[in-house]
Every structure is written in structure tokens, then in C-alpha cells.
Amino acid sequence: MRTYSSLLEEFATELGLEEIETNELGHGAVTIDKIWVVHLAPINEKELVVFMRAGILTGQSQLYDILRKNLFSPHSGVIRCALDKDDHWLLWSQLNINDTSGTKLASVLTSLVDKAVTISCEPTMKKEDDDHRLSSSHLLV
């Protein structure tokens, strides 16, 4: 049976990092392209959540468009969207630790960043560029 810690080790190896530092609760994070901070946290012994803050809501049409695609799914790793109190998009995915490999977690991370790029329309990044650069691993405080 895979543990959260062993999955993070496998994930770090997949990303070419020595480790992903975590705090006392197991929360960790990686920074992608010097812009995107993707957080990882155990929910319990069987599940983890991967989440990030994306761009700010640009209007009601964007809200309706994104939330209409935010339906329930029986599939693990589906990207979900919400708004925080400052109208920034929050993107997350909930995964079963035992059914997730370091490779799958890296794929979910890429999907999160791709969705964040799409939502925020960053002028310096292109959606079709899915070769994101990992700049560091850092402790979530």
C-alpha cells in the first residue's frame, strides 16, 4: 500500500527534484515557471488534494463558461474550479493515493498549470506549451 510520503518521493523523482519539502501537516508545494505555486496536502491516509490559485475572475461570462464545465465526475484527477473571497480562481484535484503514481501526479500538475494558463490568459505563456519549467520545491507555510 502506497503512503502519501512515498508518493511524494516518487513525484519528486519524476520532477527531477531531490525532495518535496513538507511542513508538520504534510503540506508541500512546487513552483512552476516561476509563476505557479501548486500545493499538495493529504486529506487522510487514502487521499490527497493538489491545488493552486490561478488568475482573477474577468467577468460573468468567464464564470459561467468555466463553472458549466465543473461537473461531478467518477474519474480521479479531474480538475475542479472555485472562486476564493478575492475572486481568484482556485483549481484543485483530489486523488486516491493508492491509485496514483508519481507520473500521474506530474500529469495532474501539468493539467492544473495548463488550466491556470488558460483561465488567466498570461500573455507570456502559450497554452500549447506544456513543457513547463519546474523552478523549485518549497515549504508551504
Domains identified in the chain and CATH numbers:
4-139 (3.30.1460.10)
Q: What is the sign, positive or negative, of the torsion defined by CA atoms of 128, 134, 137, 141? A: negative
Q: Quote the distance between the C-alpha of residue 97 and its chain's center.
A: 15
Specify the pLDDT at position 55.
77
Specify the pLDDT at position 65.
64
Residue 139 clears pLDDT 70, i.e. is over it: no
Instruction: Give tens-digit pLDDT for 51-110.
Output: 998 877 666 666 666 666 665 555 566 788 888 888 888 899 999 999 999 999 999 999
Residues forming beta bridges with residue 52, ordered by sequence position: 38, 91
Residue range 127-138: mean pLDDT, rounded: 47
Neighbours of 40 (CB within 10 A): 24
Put simply, whether the predicted model's pTM sits higher than 0.85 gets the answer no
What DSSP element (H or E) covers 14? helix 4-15
